[in-house]
Structure formats: C-alpha cells, structure tokens
Amino acid sequence: MKKLWSGRFSEPADKLAEEFNASISFDKRLALHDIRGSVVHVRMLGRQGIIDAADAEAIEQALLLIAEEAETGVLQLSDEYEDVHTAVEKRLTEIVGPAGGKLHTARSRNDQVALDFRLYMRDVTGYVLSAIAGLQKEIVSKASLNMDAVMPGYTHLQTAQPVLFSHWIMAYFQMLRRDYDRFIDLSSRMNNCPLGAGAIAGTTFPIDREYVAKELGFNAPTANSIDSVSDRDFALEFMSAAAICMMHLSRFSEELILFSSSEFAFIELSEGFCTGSSIMPQKKNPDIPELIRGKTGRVYGGLTGLLVTMKGLPLAYNKDMQEDKEVVFDCLDTLLASLRIFAAMLPKMGINKENMLKAASKGYSTATDLADYLVRKGLPFRQAHNAASQTVRYAAEKGKLLQELELPEFCLFSSLVDSDIYGYITVEASVNNRKSFGGTSQESVTAQINDANKFLNSLK
Ligand code: ARG
C-alpha cells in the first residue's frame, strides 16, 4: 500500500493492520471535495509566496485534470492507497513530478479531512433540502386535490373529532417544514473553514486563512486550531436532523400502513409500491412504508454510534474519528432515498373518501360539538361535557348515532337543546365550525395550504 508517512518506519506494515486502518473504500466519496480544497490551498500557497508561483500553477492545473478523472471514473481510487488524500496526492506527483509534494505544505490530513468532510456535508445538505421540498410539494398537492374528504381524527388511536383529510396530511407538511429549517440552521454552523489548523496547533507558514475560507464559500475560518481538527458537531447535527426527519417519515409510514389495512381501508397504496406474498394470494403488503419505518432505526443507530465514538475522545484528532464517515454516508443515503420514494408514492396513493366519512360518523366524534353547543346556550363547559357524555352513553345503549336521536331524547340530559342542534352535530358541521387559526375547517386548511404554497414558491 502506498503511504505518505513511511519515512520514520523501518518495518513494513502488517497486512491486516493496513487493511484495518485504510479508509479509501469509503472516503473516496470525498474525492472531488478533497481536490476542490487542494486547489484553493495551493493557490493560496502561491499567492503568499510560500511555494513558487510556477509550481502552484502546475499543481492547480494537474488537480483540475484529476478532478476530471475523478468525475469520469478514470481516477484510480483502489485499495492500494490508504485514503482518498493519498490517492489524489500520488496521482498529482505522477503528473507534475516531485513538485507535487509541495501541495501538502502548511497542511495536515487532520485539517484536510475536516475540510473535505464539511465541503461534502454542505453539498449534500442542499440535496436533502430539495428532497424535503419535493415531498412537501406532493403533500400540498394531495391536500389541495382532496379538500372534500373528511376522516376521523384520533387521539389514543380512539376516534376523537372529525378532521379534513387535507388537514391530516398537512400535519406532515409542517413537520417537514421544521426539518427544512433544521437543515438550514445546521448548515450555517457547518460553514466555517478548518483548513489552516494544521495537525493541531496551526502552522509556521504565513498562510491566508481568510482567503481560503472565502474562496471555498465559507463564512469565516474556524477560530481555534485544536477545535478545528477535533470537531465533528456538524456530522452529529446532520444526523440528529436526519433522525428527527426519519422519525416524521416513520410516523407517516405507520399511518399509511394502518390506514391501508382492510380494517381501516382509508387509503390504497398503488401496486407499484407494494409486494405480494409467496403463500397468501390475497396479500398486498405495504413494504415501502414498512421499510422507511424500519430504516429509521438504522439512522438512529448511526447517530448514537457517532455520539458514543466521540464522547471519550481527548483533544484533538484521534483515529476513532475516521468512523464518522460511513455512518453519515449511510444516514444520508437512507434519508434521501426515503424522502424521494415517499414523494413518488404519494401521488399514486388512492383515497377512499366514503370509508373515511363512514368511520368519521361513528364513534360519537361530534360529542364535543354537542358540549360546545350547550356552552353557547349558557352552560359552563364542565356541565356541558357531563350532559354530552350522558347523551353519548344513552345513544350507544340505543345503538344510535348522535344525529339519529330525537329532540326529546336530547332533552333528557339538557333542556337547553333545541331543534337547531342537528345543524351542529353532523360530521361536516363539526369540521367546518372549527375555523380557529390552524383548525380543520375548509377555510383554515385553505389558509394553511396557501401559506405552504408561498413557502414552496419562495424556493424557486
Ligand atoms: N482517514 C482519516 C480520517 O478519516 C484521515 C485523517 C488521517 N489523519 C491522521 N492523523 N492519521 O480521519
């Protein structure tokens, strides 16, 4: 294996140790970011007169060529190299000769990898933001197209109050809206440039960290060289945000699984997103939402894993930290795939409005509306609640829905009930009377959808 550091050593590396130590199999993902960082670093070395301008120019040109090779897959990123940094530098010296060795002046792999990883994370956070917005768009479109569908809202998974289907699905829009902000927020903290910290203590060369930071699009250079090479908060914050976002997708999945069961039959997942059973001919299994729910555990595992890796590390860089990349890559791949497949699945999902409405009409979902009615007639809420509960119990005993009770039957529990009660206790009335901001009436949900569209349009 070709190494950058064998000068001090007289014994060859143990084969097993070498394989165990190597990171090229996964950090090759950072190749383009590694090269981008090196281009700016060498430009800075030339500008500052730390290396010859001619060498700097030759190195920069060679790096641009290597970037092309990396993009087209020509660049050798095989296991014969310890890591991506070694592979790029070896290729560089192949092209420009020993002068290529000047690139690493005033730099260590410790600040180099901290830079590469941040550059990479910054780019992929952009992909995550687009994928979140892509799913949000499908949610809004589903909500807008089905404003007439009423379903039961649940608390404790017991029928609570009727809600618009659109209101239910827009709840997931709001969760993703916060996820979006979390990724924006963490990317601003991620956006400081660690290059120039060297191995731990800074460098004896007159480098220009401001220049490097600015050229690479960072807000500023990081302020403490020790912290710069030992900080992996940006990876942890990314995985925390990913874990929360996956938790939302997992709850969404759980509801789709539940609502697509024959017991609920509120929604129908399209066949393209389901699988059959090898033994039971009637089965259409919701594998995709199940897998998203399952993969959520994997993302939590990644976050927990890196937290545990980091918790006992003395300052500054320790090789333990090489464990940061695979978990982050895995969380990223899982999150992106889950967001994208969710966005593809939603438009093809069918909705059974009749079944939803039927379910919403059962379970005395408008009992609160009866209580609210009595309150408006002057009864304190506690007493109104009591009268409504007794009415529900009576109706249940008679096997009737609330709206099927005769007026005298209502009056058994409160003389305040009048014939206008029937205008309040239907499912439709119950929904549409909830006009409070953020409530489930058509009006309130329309306002919510308008706001959501404003947000999505602002991204264009
Ligand atoms: N592959 C290493 C990592 O990912 C790069 C940094 C190596 N630094 C060192 N001092 N060995 O952490």
Ligand 1 and 24: CB distance under 6 A: no
Residue nearest to atom 12 of ligand 1 (CA): 322
With contact defined as beta carbons under 8 Å apart, do 450 and 456 qualify?
no
Average pLDDT, the chain: 96
| Predicted pLDDT of residue 11 | 86
Fold of the domain spanning 122-203+222-357: Fumarase C; Chain A, domain 2 (1.20.200)
Could you tell me which of 114, 130, 330, 69 has the C-alpha nearest to residue 216? 114
Tokens 């059973």 label which residue?
277
| Predicted pLDDT of residue 267 | 97
Tokens 């009866």 label which residue?
370
> What is the four-CA torsion angle of 133, 139, 144, 147, rounded to 10 degrees?
-150
Ligand 1 and 230: CB distance under 6 A: no
Name the band, by pLDDT with cuts 50, 70 and 90, for residue 97: very high
Ligand 1 and 322: CB distance under 6 A: yes
Q: What is the mean pLDDT of residues 114-137?
A: 98
pLDDT at 7 over 90: no
Ligand 1 and 182: CB distance under 6 A: no
Residue nearest to atom 3 of ligand 1 (CA): 322
- Is there a cis peptide before residue 133, judged by omega within 30 degrees of 0? no
- Which atom belonging to ligand 1 lies closest to the Cα atom of 199? 10
- Which atom belonging to ligand 1 lies closest to the Cα atom of 83? 1
Ligand 1 and 317: CB distance under 6 A: yes
| Predicted pLDDT of residue 460 | 86
Q: Which of 113, 230, 310 to mutate to test the pocket of ligand 1 (most atoms within 8 A of CB)?
A: 113
| Predicted pLDDT of residue 283 | 76
Q: What is the mean pLDDT of residues 96-121?
A: 98
Tens-digit pLDDT profile for residues 68-80 = 999 999 998 988 9
Tens-digit pLDDT profile for residues 340-372 = 999 999 999 999 999 999 999 988 999 999 999
| Predicted pLDDT of residue 109 | 97
Tens-digit pLDDT profile for residues 19-33 = 999 999 999 999 999
pLDDT at 96 over 90: yes
Count the neighbouring beta carbons within 10 Å of the beta carbon of residue 443. 12
Ligand 1 and 111: CB distance under 6 A: no
| Predicted pLDDT of residue 8 | 81
Q: Which of 89, 200, 309, 319 to mutate to test the pocket of ligand 1 (most atoms within 8 A of CB)?
A: 319
Q: Which of 3, 8, 23 to mutate to test the pocket of ligand 1 (most atoms within 8 A of CB)?
A: 23
Ligand 1 and 112: CB distance under 6 A: no
Tens-digit pLDDT profile for residues 166-178 = 999 999 999 999 9
With contact defined as beta carbons under 8 Å apart, do 335 and 299 qualify?
yes
Tens-digit pLDDT profile for residues 422-455 = 999 999 999 999 999 999 999 999 999 999 999 9
pLDDT at 179 over 90: yes
| Predicted pLDDT of residue 36 | 98
| Predicted pLDDT of residue 216 | 98
pLDDT at 124 over 90: yes
pLDDT at 282 over 90: no
Q: Which two tokens stand for residue 226?
A: 């020790």
**CB-based burial label for 199 (10 Å; 0-12, 13-18, 19+):** middle
CA distances 219 to 49, 78, 185, 196, Å, are: 25, 35, 14, 15
Residue nearest to atom 7 of ligand 1 (CA): 109
Interval between CA 33 and ligand 1 midpoint (Å): 15
| Predicted pLDDT of residue 278 | 79
Count the neighbouring beta carbons within 10 Å of the beta carbon of residue 286. 22
Interval between CA 113 and ligand 1 midpoint (Å): 7
| Predicted pLDDT of residue 125 | 98
Q: What is the mean pLDDT of residues 293-301?
A: 98
Q: What are phi and psi of 72, to 5 degrees?
A: -90, 0
**Sequence spans of domains, the chain:** 13-105, 122-203+222-357, 359-458
Chosen CATH of 359-458 out of 3.20.20.70, 3.40.50.300, 1.10.40.30, 2.60.120.260? 1.10.40.30
| Predicted pLDDT of residue 322 | 98
With contact defined as beta carbons under 8 Å apart, do 254 and 288 qualify?
no
With contact defined as beta carbons under 8 Å apart, do 444 and 436 qualify?
yes
How far from chain centre, in Å, is Cα 454? Answer: 21
Task: Say what the pTM is.
Answer: 0.95
User: What is the C-alpha R_g of the chain?
Assistant: 30
Ligand 1 and 86: CB distance under 6 A: no
| Predicted pLDDT of residue 277 | 77
Q: What are phi and psi of 381, to 5 degrees?
A: -55, -40
pLDDT at 12 over 90: no
With contact defined as beta carbons under 8 Å apart, do 349 and 289 qualify?
no
- N- to C-terminal Cα separation, the chain: 48
Count the neighbouring beta carbons within 10 Å of the beta carbon of residue 193. 27
Ligand 1 and 39: CB distance under 6 A: no
With contact defined as beta carbons under 8 Å apart, do 206 and 48 qualify?
yes
Q: Per CATH, the architecture of 13-105 is what?
A: Orthogonal Bundle (1.10)
Name the band, by pLDDT with cuts 50, 70 and 90, for residue 274: confident
- Which atom belonging to ligand 1 lies closest to the Cα atom of 85? 5
Domains 13-105 and 359-458 share a fold: no
Q: Which two tokens stand for residue 413?
A: 């529990």
With contact defined as beta carbons under 8 Å apart, do 338 and 246 qualify?
yes
Q: Collapse the DSSP code of 49 into the 3-class scheme (helix H, G, I; strand E, B; otherwise coil) and give the result.
A: coil
Tokens 């205008």 label which residue?
423
Count the neighbouring beta carbons within 10 Å of the beta carbon of residue 205. 15
156: Cβ–Cβ under 8 A, 6 or more apart, which residues?
none
Pinpoint the alpha helices (H) of 3-83.
15-21, 24-27, 31-47, 53-71
pLDDT at 81 over 90: yes
Interval between CA 311 and ligand 1 midpoint (Å): 18
The percent of residues above 70 in pLDDT, for the chain, comes to 100
| Predicted pLDDT of residue 115 | 98
